[in-house]
Amino acid sequence: MSTETTGHGARVAPERSAAATARAAMLILAQRKLAPTPENYALAWAKAQGLAGTAQPDARREPPAREVTREGRRLRHVERMVAELKEMVRALCEMMGNLADDESWVSGQIATVRRALEGELDRSAIAELRALLLDTGSHQKRIQEQRRRTLDHLKRTLSEMAGVIASLMASTDTFADQMNEHAVSIEGATSLDALSETVRGLLEDTRTMRTAVDLSRDGLSRSQGVAASLEREVSRLEEELAAASAEMVTDHLTRTMNRRGLEEAFVGAQERTLASGKPLTLAMIDVDDFKRLNDALGHKAGDEALRHLADLLRLKLRPTDAVARYGGEEFVILLPGAGTEDALSTVSRLQRELTTHVFLHEASRTFITFSAGITEVTADDSLATAINRADEAMYRAKHEGKNCVRTA
């Protein structure tokens, strides 16, 4: 970049061009997620030129109205395009869902995309979603191809079995006709030689029929074995497909649900429980002094401690309850059918259980505790609003001594 020299010999940087300043101002607005209003743009322009945070630019540096208008229009156009693209993807998801009623793995993929569209879409979120879908999609494509080949093999085997049965039936009809002919010959035999010839024919036809029956029986037995094996393979592949879809909503460290799984479980529990007139309670729990544990014992021990807690929660909660790792050392529990008092009792019991099930790391006993916040879910709640209330109650528990439970 070229510089200018003042009368005293000091070197100063030339003023940034209007276009460059406009681009920098737009970047500041995007980074701070501010609407492109004239006021915000003027402040971003001042910031881009190196002025004080809230100082107004002087007349000489006032952003040109055309730049403000043009960049504002451009940003609004981009926002409209993003909104339209999201709506188009939602419509595609709806259409794919209607076409894939029996494909649970497709439904799982679609649900993941829909949940992503509900949140804030930034580069990181899009990259994470894309990587997840590519990885799972590749795995599912391989399994689907195996399942298709297995089904084709099973169809061929069943077709061969049908052919064997048809052939056997045809042989049986022929044998019946032959037996009738032999019966007529025996009735009409006028000499011992003629009778002997008929008996020889009868025995020969019987042996031929027995051989055909034996071959057909062996063929059917083999085909039945192959068919049973192929059916087992199809079932195994379908279970693997279901497991691949389940991985999308599972936290890999603790094997509890992840956030995606929690969102799905929350909607289902809210619809089922509240529709039946029963309460639904959400609890947010956070391991106390987890950073200190990590610093003292290492991150591997921290991971083991989280798995220890997750295992205890699964063991001590009801099958109808749901546990999810919300992030870091935070877990969320959904308690359908439990009101605030019942939930308070349940979470307090979990705290006591945790003190008796001591965490062991390299034969060293380490006591783990957690603080918790509880809130009762209403029909109008989203997962975010319910978690916010429970989170505030949980932080009160932290500030009031830890290892305790507070209600929202």
Which residues are identified as catalytic?
Answer: 329
Residue 111: how many other CB atoms lie within 10 Å:
20
What are the Cα distances from residue 389, in Å, to 3, 337, 404? Answer: 56, 19, 16
Measure the CA–CA gap between 89 and 133, rounded to whole angstroms.
14
| β-strand pairing of 322-327 with 330-336 | antiparallel
Measure the CA–CA gap between 331 and 286, rounded to whole angstroms.
6
Strand, helix or coil for residue 361: strand
Measure the CA–CA gap between 121 and 89, rounded to whole angstroms.
13
Task: End-to-end CA distance of the chain: give it in Å, rounded.
Answer: 58
Contact 199, 109 (CB under 8 A): no
DSSP state of 400: T
Can you read off the two tokens belonging to residue 22?
A: 């406009």
Contact 263, 316 (CB under 8 A): no
Location of structure tokens 């990259």: 127
Residue 340: how many other CB atoms lie within 10 Å:
15
Give me the sign of the Cα torsion angle 224, 225, 226, 231: positive
Q: How many residues does the chain have?
A: 408
What are the Cα distances from residue 28, in Å, to 94, 99, 320? Answer: 36, 44, 47
What are the Cα distances from residue 3, in Å, to 6, 13, 45? Answer: 10, 5, 22
Measure the CA–CA gap between 170 and 164, rounded to whole angstroms.
10
What's the distance, CA 203 to chain centroid? Answer: 68
Contact 51, 57 (CB under 8 A): yes
DSSP codes, 14-37 = PPPPHHHHHHHHHHHHHHTT----
Can you read off the two tokens belonging to residue 227?
A: 């068919």
Can you read off the two tokens belonging to residue 395?
A: 């932080």
Location of structure tokens 């005293």: 8
